[in-house]
Amino acid sequence: MLSKINLLLLISLLLAIVATGWFYHQMNNRVGDISFNKELDDPDFSLCSNEYVLQEYNSYGVDYNGGERAIKKQILEELQHENIHFDRSGLITFRFVVNCKGETGLFRAKSVNDDLEETAFDPEKIEKLQAAIAKLDQWEPGEGEDEKLNSYAQVHFKIENGKITDIF
């Protein structure tokens, strides 16, 4: 049978372990982090070096040669040519990782309607948009002091009256 003091010591120790574990988890996970999902992701895509991924707005982060306008120029015409029609208006946001070699993977799409509420567009059409982004090959990876780095990137598709009207 534990004495009172031993019981209190045990409880305080367990509490401290739980608090430390919870705090560690809270400090080491970031909003929007994307981890590999074998159901969704290409097994050939890999992160480089320490697997840290810079945020898309980090000034050392990834760029696309020619900027968002070049992305739009490269894929809008092709997508319009395919005559993809959506059943609603809104904004489709792809967030993904560009690794240190300029390769893309870990794509995740989120969509909102005109009232900025979460909505779901046809998954087949989302796949077509993702395939178009995956073809982009002019990424300039993020760069640290002496090495290229992994970065998050975003591409938005603005849908108005069922059609893609802007990509940025």
52 belongs to the binding site for another protein (CB under 8 A): no
- What span, in angstroms and rounded, lies between the C-alpha atoms of 58 and 36? 22
Stretch of residues binding another protein (CB under 8 A), selected from 27-35, 78-86, 97-105, 121-129: 27-35
Q: Hey, which residues does 110 pair with through a beta bridge?
A: 93
Sign of CA dihedral 131, 132, 135, 138: negative
Nearest distance in Å: CB 24, another protein: 10
5 belongs to the binding site for another protein (CB under 8 A): yes
Residues 2, 25, 38, 146: which binds another protein (CB under 8 A)? 25
- What span, in angstroms and rounded, lies between the C-alpha atoms of 141 and 4? 59
- What span, in angstroms and rounded, lies between the C-alpha atoms of 134 and 80? 17
Residues 59, 81, 87, 161: which binds another protein (CB under 8 A)? 59
- Provide CB contacts within 8 A for 94, sequence distance 6+: 107, 108, 109, 129, 130, 133, 154, 155, 156, 157
- What span, in angstroms and rounded, lies between the C-alpha atoms of 108 and 40? 9
For residues 92-151, which are near another protein according to CB under 8 A? Answer: 93, 95, 110, 112, 116-118
161 belongs to the binding site for another protein (CB under 8 A): no
Positions touching another protein (CB under 8 A) are 5-6, 8-9, 12-13, 15-16, 19, 22-23, 25-27, 29-32, 55-59, 61, 66-70, 91, 93, 95, 110, 112, 116-118, 152, 154, 156, 158, 166, 168
